[in-house]
Structure 1
């Protein structure tokens, strides 16, 4: 819990101060639940990282923290060896003092597809729901966000995020946090300027309820950025796959982009529009030295990459923007 005290203090400076009525108790409950079997090992790994704050940081074009000239070769090798023990790394990539963490996903490609369309983040408070290890949180800071908050209940993602942030000076680190919470643990804050949900909707059994939970975090006039799997079709087209979709067991609803627009409008959102649709390629999601298990190429029909191994349309992702009415 003590690790979050600086964040609690930071919240008092923002329109999110009322979150403190709930947040400490929610985090305490997470800490008291059954921990991942490797959680203690990951905690020990974090304690072994060199105590060095990067002098060179670039978050605008990519996530680069530190330069290889800042540390001795032995220290850099130590960082690389410790971070490899936090595999698999899913979202990125990250560059730490010359160590390139080549993650499964080229999350920078996703950011490039949406960054020019969203309301500029300068000075805004931002929430990223299901943020993974926090790659996009760093890009949000690089785009000028005043405070970037991510939520994701995965113990591994929290450890990966803390490893990255351990090298960042306090003046920057105080403006970014990953909280080990799910959206179901969030009170109706009605305070964030921008809410991102990227790669989450299709994992929810009740997508309309989930969208409403996202909207409940926005202030009036705030912007929702929704990125999710879609299929081709009209406003009534929704795929409900069987037990697996691209070998994922927890995919419930994949609507068309038109259906998503309709859902958001039914929920009262304004200026709903689709700003990008892209078929996911095996260059964007793939096996790497930092994520050695199966990836997209293994989940597609080997004779027809336009279909998943189960026979469904191959993954296509859309980005939608919507504004909460005043």
Structure 2
């Protein structure tokens, strides 16, 4: 079983991003051919087993909810929950499906509420989310009025989690929201999106300057970048490069101060740079749950000083900056 992206490609052909079709079909084919085994093959079998039920309720403006408990019988609900748990760990959410609450590791709805007041009006907009995880924010972007919402993330698990949700979304909504299993390095310079989001990605990039240029290249002139990332305290020359892990995360390269990040963005050609939110991550926002039973933030902080990570670095603090392409 492979994922059929042809309906989305047809939808893309009607959008300002239609020139992406020169490379995207080949990239999708290559990704699928390289993942037809192991856990991904098993997860795809689970997707096929999800009950075929129709949602009579949908709310993506205030949360991400498809269906209500009365849409399915008790046996179908038990089966649905058991199958969805085969996709653990669920990290970004939460989601509600037919009365089942998927209590994810992250309260991504809190992040959305912090970001939302600072967004351009998304009504009718073409939106790209780079590193979208399982797609929680994609649905909220559509709920805020976006015309087309595209997320990219190459993680196999995030793709199948998204597809499980998309299965139950109303068809008139599902056709406008897609997660593509490709990485940022595969993005051509599209230059057509009204809004580009990048939340929780910058510190995973070995070259943050190149990454900012990649983000800029996807925007139309005047388009808005929404960038959320880990930061540290300090002046515009302060940047932390962890010796090994940071809060037990692998692949963390650079944590800039907010002034340093602003400087990076200016050097990359962004204008109208604004710091719109600074927030220390708490164990109420990131934690272990029934749907994510691995270790979480509480285990990654110094047990004697929650202002430090277990490695001795400044505890996680996140900032949201907005900017524009001239």
TM-score normalised by L of structure 2: 0.98
| Cα deviation 1:118-176 (Å, max 9, x = unaligned) | 11111101111111100000000110010110000011100000000101122111000
For residues 22-37 of structure 1, the aligned pairs below 5 Å read 22-35=23-36, 37=38
> For residue 92 of structure 1, what is the aligned residue in structure 2?
93
For residues 108-119 of structure 1, the aligned pairs below 5 Å read 108-119=109-120
CA contact (8 A) 2:53 2:71 kept: no
Q: Give unmatched runs, 5+ long, in structure 1.
A: none
Q: How many residues align structurally?
A: 325
Q: Is 1:323–2:320 an aligned residue pair?
A: no
| Structure 1: 4+ residue segments shifted above 6 A | none
Q: Deviation of residue 37 (structure 1)?
A: 2.0
> For residue 278 of structure 2, what is the aligned residue in structure 1?
277
| Cα deviation 1:253-277 (Å, max 9, x = unaligned) | 0001111111111111110010000
User: In structure 1, what is the Cα distance between the partners aligned to 2:258 and 2:119?
Assistant: 17
User: In structure 2, what is the Cα distance between the partners aligned to 1:77 and 1:143?
Assistant: 32
Q: Give unmatched runs, 5+ long, in structure 2.
A: none
Q: Name whichever of 204-213 and 51-60 sits farther off.
A: 51-60
For residues 127-166 of structure 1, the aligned pairs below 5 Å read 127-166=128-167
> For residue 224 of structure 1, what is the aligned residue in structure 2?
225
Q: Name whichever of 308-317 and 71-80 sits farther off.
A: 71-80
CA contact (8 A) 1:36 1:155 kept: no
User: In structure 2, what is the Cα distance between the partners aligned to 1:321 and 1:124?
Assistant: 17
Q: Deviation of residue 66 (structure 1)?
A: 0.6
TM-score normalised by L of structure 1: 0.98
CA contact (8 A) 2:35 2:41 kept: no
User: In structure 1, what is the Cα distance between the partners aligned to 2:51 and 2:274?
Assistant: 46
| Cα deviation 1:170-217 (Å, max 9, x = unaligned) | 211100000000000111100111000000000000000001001111
> For residue 246 of structure 2, what is the aligned residue in structure 1?
245
Q: Is 1:177–2:174 an aligned residue pair?
A: no
